[in-house]
Amino acid sequence: MTDAARNQKENCSKKGLSTLVVHAGESRQKLGNAITDAILCTATYTFASSQDAIDFVDQKLPREEYSRYGNPTEKVAEKKLAILEGGEAGLLYSSGMAAIAGLLMTKLQAGDEIAVFDECYHRTREFCVKHLGKFGVITHMIPTGDYEKLESVITPNTKMLLSESPTNPHLSVIDVERFASIGKKHGVETVIDSTLATPYNLRPLAAGVDYVMHSCTKYLSGHNDVLAGVIISSAEKLEPVRKLRNVMGPSCGPHNVYLLLRGLKTFELRMQRHNENGLALAQFLENHPRVERVYYPGLASHPYHKLATKTMCGYGGLVTFKLKDADWHQTADVVDAVCLPRIGPSLGGVESIIEQPILMSYHDFTIPERRELGIADNMIRVACGIENTEDLIADFEQALKS
């Protein structure tokens, strides 16, 4: 880390989160003297002279050349996101899956091995097993939270350990420090997908993890109108990842970057309400006679509650629960009866979203595959938005009575 970057990090660490999401990474005076960063809708950037082009190639002139390689507004967003995570550099992608795929494709080659906790996002699992597998990469799926098993599969060919925390939809919580220490002990890089936690609730880099990944589509942009992803780490570790991204082209468009920056301005305020709504709804559901079980790390009944309380600042807005003595049709009746949450995939937006995992995220899985992954017919996942808490609970109360 350079002295300038270290000083910036130290200065930023003294400021509150809302101050950072509003100001971090931005120049005080901007193009046209606007208070917001400009949307630059251009594919190419021109040079005033051949000498300017030479200076750019010789890295004497900090500027852009072609939008696949970067955009000035994108640089602002990358710097802001890195500061929020306490990292040195960030790298934006067109989606969260593009981000994790870009990282893994950079770091892995034929004959390499990766160990993944099995409650990871099902598309991440699919990419590792089905697609990286075609190119000779071996994926070990490890029961989530089984650190002894995780360590036992590490060989000289193991290059990466990957997990989410919390996981989706069971909301299991990883001991991130222990996870990182296993990687360091064996010289293996570690990745945490912190999409559900966000920098508000968890800081994986501070715990020793090498890379933290987010689907910015979710809480970071926060308005269900953006697709974007980011990888955050040291500038040195991200440089080869950046080079491959520039070759493959999954860059984030200027309008999406602008919307991401706009959404980030209210990040702390939104997360406070997401956390409040998630905990309140989980507590209500746990005490309801029609509910069999609630998955939420903020509840004392959750198997990872003590770890979550120790390592996280909040528990997020995602709540998963099972209905008592219900088949998938009866479960669908409850989903259809709510008025505020919309039926659909995704999470982290201002609007609450509800789904049955068997119909939405896991519709293309066989029944044995769903059972193996703990995806039940009577399971409902709720992504709490920022509606008033009492309205959200009243809505679920009437839906469960209907």
Asked whether residue 251 falls in the same domain as residue 277, the answer is no
| 39 in a structural domain | no
pLDDT tens column, 163-172: 999 999 999 9
Asked whether residue 228 falls in the same domain as residue 280, the answer is no
339 confidence band (pLDDT: 50, 70, 90): very high
| 50 in a structural domain | no
Asked whether residue 308 falls in the same domain as residue 376, the answer is yes
| 53 in a structural domain | no
Does the pLDDT value for residue 9 go beyond 50?
no
Asked whether residue 89 falls in the same domain as residue 162, the answer is yes
CATH number at residue 293: 3.90.1150.10
Asked whether residue 255 falls in the same domain as residue 274, the answer is no
Q: Which of 210, 230, 264 is the last residue of a domain?
A: 264
Does the pLDDT value for residue 3 go beyond 90?
no
**Range(s) of the domain holding residue 153:** 3-24+66-264
One-character DSSP codes across 243-295: HHHHHH--PPPHHHHHHHHHHHTTHHHHHHHHHHHHHHHHHHHHT-TTEEEEE
pLDDT tens column, 212-264: 999 999 999 999 999 999 999 999 999 999 999 999 999 999 999 999 999 99
Asked whether residue 236 falls in the same domain as residue 293, the answer is no
If one compares 4 and 238, the residue with the highest pLDDT of the two is: 238
Asked whether residue 274 falls in the same domain as residue 256, the answer is no
Q: Which of 240, 264, 288 is the last residue of a domain?
A: 264
Q: Which stretches within 16-86 are classed as H helix?
A: 17-23, 50-57, 72-85
Does the pLDDT value for residue 53 go beyond 90?
yes
Asked whether residue 93 falls in the same domain as residue 166, the answer is yes
Token readout for 324 is 């008592």
pLDDT tens column, 75-131: 999 999 999 999 999 999 999 999 999 999 999 999 999 999 999 999 999 999 999
| 61 in a structural domain | no
| 56 in a structural domain | no
Instruction: State the Cα–Cα distance between residues 380 and 392, nearest whole angstrom.
Output: 15
Does the pLDDT value for residue 354 go beyond 90?
yes
Does the pLDDT value for residue 326 go beyond 90?
yes
pLDDT recorded at residue 12: 44
Asked whether residue 170 falls in the same domain as residue 317, the answer is no
pLDDT tens column, 63-74: 999 999 999 999
pLDDT recorded at residue 385: 98
CATH number at residue 240: 3.40.640.10
| 34 in a structural domain | no
| 85 in a structural domain | yes
Residues 6+ apart with CB under 8 A from 220: 81, 198, 214, 228, 230, 260, 263, 264, 267, 348
347 confidence band (pLDDT: 50, 70, 90): very high
13 confidence band (pLDDT: 50, 70, 90): low
pLDDT tens column, 142-164: 999 999 999 999 999 999 999 99
Does the pLDDT value for residue 382 go beyond 70?
yes
Domain count, the chain: 2
The whole model's pTM is what? 0.93
Asked whether residue 276 falls in the same domain as residue 151, the answer is no
Q: Which of 242, 264, 286 is the last residue of a domain?
A: 264
| 176 in a structural domain | yes
pLDDT recorded at residue 97: 97
Asked whether residue 99 falls in the same domain as residue 196, the answer is yes
7 confidence band (pLDDT: 50, 70, 90): very low
Asked whether residue 239 falls in the same domain as residue 294, the answer is no
